[in-house]
Structure formats: structure tokens, C-alpha cells
Amino acid sequence: MQYRKLGRTGVQVSDIAHGLWGMSGWSGSADRESLQALQLAVDLGCNFFDSAWAYGEGKSDGLLGQTMAKNKGKRIFAASKIPPKNERWPALPKFKYHDVFPPDHVFKYADLIRKQLGTDSIDLLQFHVWTDAWTNDPDFRKTVEKLKRDGTIRYFGLSLNRWEPENGIKAIRTGLVDAVQVIYSIFDQSPEDELFPLCKEMNIGVIVRVALDEGSLGGKMTRDTIFPKDDWRSGYFNPKNLANTIKRVDKLKEILPPGMSLPEMALRFVLSHAAVSTTIVGMRKLVHVRENIALSDKGPLSPELLKQLKKHRWNRKPAPWSD
């Protein structure tokens, strides 16, 4: 397993990391299997785990807490997120900061998360949504500074809205943000334009999420894939987006180098960018944990392949079904 610095925190995190969203209620989730997947990841050297209170109202934080308790001798870096009080995803500039992250709400959920994780101090606490319209609210600065001063958290981060990688740049410039979480994939290459250069310049940790495009870049989905109605993916992979996505996935399959799978190309693509600290992959299946972690040692893709993949960039705009 390879490790990289999470920006100015200086913490060495595994470049393949574990995302727990799917463990909180996607169809096909089983807690026993999820716990086994988390343990296998720890055993294979993964030390960075991304959770959120909203993933089952503390459920995935609890699964992570159980894993940390079972592995006391190992340093596990736990990231979680404060849910927006107005329960709206994504954040919109018309929402008032005080309706989304009022100080009492943030401190209350930070305590709830600490309890679930079983830790005094949360390694990385992120706001689950963000709009730069809130940057100058004095309570933003006061809240982050108090969380750190009191030892409630070690580092603070923002999870940026889907397909809006620039909507966080003002907040980063305040100096309050240690790490950003952003969607980056063979399809979603726009963080390379402005966000990544700024993060390099300011030494901000970059946590890539959804490198497999919620599963489409795992290569197993087809035009006929149907998710149950109560599974979030049934909205994301609605018939139109599913058809558009699979068309593009098929084009990628045509250019796969011999012996390389689609998830390998997708994950090594994001790790090929020097600004990236780690990528949090959703993996409930043990086979996925093994396959993905094994990619860490394979290093970046060749410059020729990276050049080809540039052409597969897909500039997307947030839509009512995308969050």
C-alpha cells in the first residue's frame, strides 16, 4: 500500500481509502459483510475511512467506531461529516448559513459523531455540503476555530457539491480548510482546472470521491441495470443518465490496455494526479477491497494512456436527480 501526505496536516494516508456511504442503506448492504470489508481493508494497510452522520443517522460512523475499537494498535484516520440542518443537498447560495450550519447544530453533531466513533477528537470533520456564498459569515470561522481549540476535531474539511469543484475555492483561501473532498474521475476531470492547482499551492489535502462514478466505472453495470426504488442509485442512474453513462463506459472499454480492468484504469487515473492525496472508494464486497487495494502499488498510468483519457472528459451540470 502506498501512502501520501494529506496536505498540510502532514498525516500519511493510504492512497486507496474506504468510503462508507454504501454501508448505510444501499440495497445489498449487510452489516456483517461491511464490517468484514472494513477489517480486510485495515489488514491490507488502508488507514483512511470516510463516513458521515447522514449515512444512516450515525450508522456508518458506528461501523467505523467498531472497526477502530477492534484495531486499537493501528492508527486509523477517521473522517466524518456534519449533516446540513435544513437536510438539503446540494447547498444553494440562497440558503442562509445559519439555517444549515448554526453553531449549536455543528457542536451537537460533532459530539454525536465522536460517540459513534468512540474517540475524543475527530481526525477530520467535514461540512457535508458547502457554498462559497457562506465564506464570510463570521460564525463559519468562529465555529471551525472553536472545534479545533476545544480538541473536538484535529482537522477541518469541506465536501464540495457534485460537479461544482470551484465552489469552495473562496473558503479554502480563508485558511480554515485543511482538506477538500471532491468528485474526480475519468468522466469528471474539471477539478484539474482550478481546484487542484490551488490545493497544490496552499498544500490542502485532496480526497477524491466517486472515482468509480457510483459504480458505472466498475464495469459491471449495463443498460438494463435497475436499482430498487428505495436505493439512491435508482434516481442517479435514471434511464436517461444510465444510457448516456453506459455509452461512455463502452467507449472506455474499447481502449483498455491488455490485462487492465475498467476499475483499475479508473482508480489509477485519479491517483495519477499529483494533487490527489487519497481516493475513498465505496467497497462493501471483500473482492472489491482486495482488487482495489492491490492497485495502489501499480502506480500512475502511462502518459500515453492519460492523454487518451483526457478525451473522455464529460462536463456535467448538477441536476435535480444528481444529489
Ligand X SMILES: NC(=O)c1ccc[n+]([C@@H]2O[C@H](COP(=O)([O-])OP(=O)(O)OC[C@H]3O[C@@H](n4cnc5c(N)ncnc54)[C@H](OP(=O)(O)O)[C@@H]3O)[C@@H](O)[C@H]2O)c1
Nearest distance in Å: CB 281, ligand X: 4
d(CA 317, CA 323): 11
Nearest distance in Å: CB 18, ligand X: 8
Nearest distance in Å: CB 103, ligand X: 21
- Given the C-alpha cell 456535467, which residue does it identify? 316
Q: Which is nearer to ligand X, 17 or 275 (CB)?
A: 17
Where do contacts with ligand X occur on this chain (CB under 6 A)?
19-22, 50, 128, 159, 181, 209-215, 218, 220, 263, 280-285, 288, 291-292
DSSP structural state of residue 191: G
Please state, as a whole number, how many other Cβ atoms lie within 10 Å of the Cβ of residue 15.
Answer: 24
Closest CA to 210 of 84, 94, 111, 316: 316
Nearest distance in Å: CB 318, ligand X: 12
Residue nearest to ligand X (CB): 282
- Report yes or no: 36 and 66 within 8 Å, Cβ to Cβ: no
What is the DSSP track for 98-159?
Answer: HHHS-HHHHHHHHHHHHHHHT-SSEEEEEESS--GGGTT-HHHHHHHHHHHHTTSEEEEEEE
Q: Which is nearer to ligand X, 116 or 159 (CB)?
A: 159
Q: Which is nearer to ligand X, 2 or 322 (CB)?
A: 322
Q: Which is nearer to ligand X, 7 or 215 (CB)?
A: 215
Nearest distance in Å: CB 169, ligand X: 17
Q: Which is nearer to ligand X, 47 or 181 (CB)?
A: 181
